[in-house]
Amino acid sequence: MDKSAMTNNAVTAMEEYLWLTQTNEPLWIKTDGCLDILNLKSYENAFPIPKIK
């Protein structure tokens, strides 16, 4: 992977992380314990995987 692709991936990951930690969307589900887990369906709606042709 070249440097510009790595930089692009890092920036995209940071933007996604910041959005996940600051959103009021129901992306996190409380468990019976003290953990929250990611609601995969909501996550996939927020960050759809691009189709590869």
Tokens of 49: 């995987």
Whole-prediction pTM = 0.57
SS3 12: helix
Give tens-digit pLDDT for 1-53: 799 999 999 999 999 889 888 877 778 888 888 888 888 888 888 888 877 76
Only one residue has tokens 């019976």, namely 32
Beta-carbon contacts of residue 34 (< 8 Å; ≥ 6 apart): none
Q: What is the pLDDT of residue 4?
A: 92
